[in-house]
Amino acid sequence: MSAKKIVQLKENPAVTNFREYLKISSVHPDVDYSGCVEFLQRQADSLDLPLAIYHVVPKKPIVVLTWRGTEPSLPSILLNSHMDVVPVFAEKWTRDPFGAEKDENGNIFARGSQDMKCVGIQYLEAVRRLKAAGAKLCRTLHISFVPDEEIGGGDGMKAFVHTSDFKALNIGFALDEGIASPTEEFALFYGERSIWQIHVHCPGTPGHGSLLHPDTAGEKLRVVIDRFMDFRQKEKDKLAANPALTVGDVTTINLTMLKGGVQANVVPPELTAVFDMRLAVTQDHREFEALLQSWCKEAGRDVHYDFELKNKRNAITALDSSNPFWMAFKAECDSLKLKLKPAIFPGGTDSRYVRLVGIPALGFSPMNRTPVLLHDHDEFLNEKVFLHGIDIYERLIPAVANVSV
């Protein structure tokens, strides 16, 4: 028998399962989720758990495995993950992004290894261990695998939480994704900023490029960009001045697109700037929009904007004694000697939709001592970190599922 085959035989079955899931190319755009659904059906069969598939939107399946608790009338626990992954630029990878190759150090390379197919499998493998040990949970446990999180979740969790099917799950508390941490600490997220994406339109006088026309689109665009970037700099300064702050604690603004013009010697009739903004949880939404309106007015006649995306103010999950699930989660982490670093998530996850319907949710991916590589080239997760994450969930799941109140 070859050395390669010997190594393969010795691989932990949970790692093998993880690598199989990573090989399913559920990548944007135009994701085909059928491979994921077939894989999850096999997982449900192996765990002897019922599986339900909901279609809020055609071809966008929401898969839910359920472990019934001993007191099913109690609000249940949701363990959420998403099946989709972001696009890859294969030429930038040193390995096949869907090959799930493992190097001599145990690093498993694949798109989704950190974001977030790891967590979905860790849920399942922790449940596998608990069931094998004869564990019983008071509260029913639902393990959900949703589509389209990487493009905003509009056809996934955002829509699902408003359906009768979701309400019938009777969710009382949820866990979802976090991000890796390069230190000993584990990132723990209890809220998210609100995402606003706007297109600022600057119409002006068109004409030949050799002349100095009044009221041009370029002059107006300059004012718009200056005001947005001035605000951005103030937030950067705020972040730099206070080491206790993270990027999730400030409002970020980034100029992401510029559109307009027909050729080099023609002054265009309109130029458009697109900005991605993430509003801090402390940012007053009305005041901020009034500020945007004042910048447009200052820029000149007919400057206006429209929203591509405008999130409502996001709910925050309490990290105090008013939240018994947090108290149980924190106590178990303390028992495991895990160093948690609570923060506001810098991006957006499906947790925001769960919180907006009144359900407390925490974002947590048990990946410490790991470089942050979500959406990056050569994304990887070490198998020891992956397996330790299963150990952690094996303790955390009963802790939150056996909360008595």
Select from 370, 334, 378 the least CA-distant residue to 91.
Answer: 378
- The residue from 310, 326, 346 where one domain ends is 310
Number of domains present in the structure of the chain: 2
- Inform me whether the pLDDT recorded for 306 exceeds 90: yes
- Inform me whether the pLDDT recorded for 92 exceeds 80: yes
Long-range contact set of residues 257-260: C-beta below 8 Å, sequence gap at least 24: 260/217
pLDDT band at residue 405 under the 50/70/90 scheme: confident
DSSP for 326-390, written as a single string: HHHHHHHHHHTT--EEEEEESS--THHHHHHTT--EEE-----S----TTSTT-EEEHHHHHHHH
pLDDT band at residue 281 under the 50/70/90 scheme: very high
Query: What is the domain-level CATH number for residue 113?
Result: 3.40.630.10
Average pLDDT, the chain: 96
Q: Are residues 104 and 156 in the same domain?
A: yes
Mean pLDDT computed over 97-113: 98
Q: Are residues 198 and 160 in the same domain?
A: no
Q: Are residues 238 and 97 in the same domain?
A: no
Q: Are residues 220 and 328 in the same domain?
A: no
Range of the domain at 238: 194-310
Mean pLDDT computed over 85-101: 97
- Inform me whether the pLDDT recorded for 9 exceeds 70: no
Does residue 178 or residue 2 have the better pLDDT?
A: 178
Q: Are residues 242 and 173 in the same domain?
A: no
Residues designated catalytic: 84, 149
Mean pLDDT computed over 98-126: 98
- The residue from 282, 310, 338 where one domain ends is 310
Mean pLDDT computed over 224-247: 97
Query: What is the domain-level CATH number for residue 209?
Result: 3.30.70.360
- Inform me whether the pLDDT recorded for 157 exceeds 60: yes
- Inform me whether the pLDDT recorded for 5 exceeds 50: no
Residues 6 or more apart whose CB falls under 8 angstroms from that of 256 comprise 197, 274, 275, 276
Phi-psi category of 106—alpha, beta or left, where left has phi over 0 and alpha has psi -120 to 50? left
How far is Cα 405 from Cα 139, in angstroms, rounded to an integer? 11
Cα distances from 297 to residues 185, 293, 324, in angstroms, run: 46, 6, 49
Mean pLDDT computed over 309-315: 91
Q: Are residues 223 and 139 in the same domain?
A: no
Using one digit for the tens of pLDDT, what is the confidence trace for 15-31? 999 999 999 999 999 99
Q: Are residues 67 and 187 in the same domain?
A: yes
- The residue from 279, 310, 341 where one domain ends is 310
Q: Are residues 350 and 201 in the same domain?
A: no
Q: Are residues 284 and 333 in the same domain?
A: no
Report pTM. 0.90
Q: Are residues 35 and 157 in the same domain?
A: yes
Q: Are residues 148 and 219 in the same domain?
A: no
Using one digit for the tens of pLDDT, what is the confidence trace for 320-369? 999 999 999 999 999 999 999 999 998 889 999 999 999 999 999 999 99
Mean pLDDT check: name the lowest of 4-8, 142-146, 174-178, 215-219. 4-8
pLDDT number for residue 100: 98
Q: Are residues 22 and 164 in the same domain?
A: yes
**Cβ distance 395 to 330 under 8 Å?**
no
- Inform me whether the pLDDT recorded for 71 exceeds 90: yes
pLDDT band at residue 1 under the 50/70/90 scheme: very low
